[in-house]
Amino acid sequence: MTTELVLAALDQAYEAQKPKKKLIHHSDRGSQYASKDYRKRLKTYQMKASMSRKGNCYDNACIESFHSVLKKEFVYCTKFKTKAQAQQEMFEYIELFYNRKRIHSSLGYLSPNQFELNYYKKVS
């Protein structure tokens, strides 16, 4: 994983969500997230950087759980012929299934999208 890759992902997420100022951006201690360019981009987007403590897997428990599910339900069950196919099918799994249809017990048996919609209805 390169700094350029994570910068592109950050830019894509920012454009898709248009978050309010002072959003807390949490990551692990990877060199790409600690890089000068990445920290500068967070500042440009007025995001506050947060990093896991060294050697503490519990700080990233949510994303580690997601990666586990992604691997068990999708990656290990799917054969890809090309990198482009893998990228397209992973995008579809995450955006069309995982975020919109797959219910999560930790979210009151709602999908992530439904949980987010309910949240914003309550705070507006």
Residue 47's CB: how many other CB atoms inside 10 A? 19
Residues 9-41 have pLDDT tens digits of: 999 999 999 999 999 999 989 999 999 999 999
pLDDT of residue 115: 97
Distance CA(67)–CA(75), nearest Å, equals: 10
pLDDT of residue 63: 87
pTM of the model: 0.75
Q: How do beta strands 24-27 and 48-51 pair?
A: parallel
Residues 62-119 have pLDDT tens digits of: 888 999 999 999 999 999 999 999 999 999 999 999 999 999 999 999 999 999 999 9
Amino acid at residue number 98? Y
Residue with tokens 């995450």: 94
- Are 2 and 37 in contact, with CB atoms under 8 Å apart? no
Which two structure tokens, joined as six digits, stand for 114? Answer: 């439904």
Cross-strand bridge partners of residue 27: 51
The secondary structure of 40-78 as a DSSP string is HHHHHTTPEEEEPPTT-GGGGHHHHHHHHHHHHHTGGG-
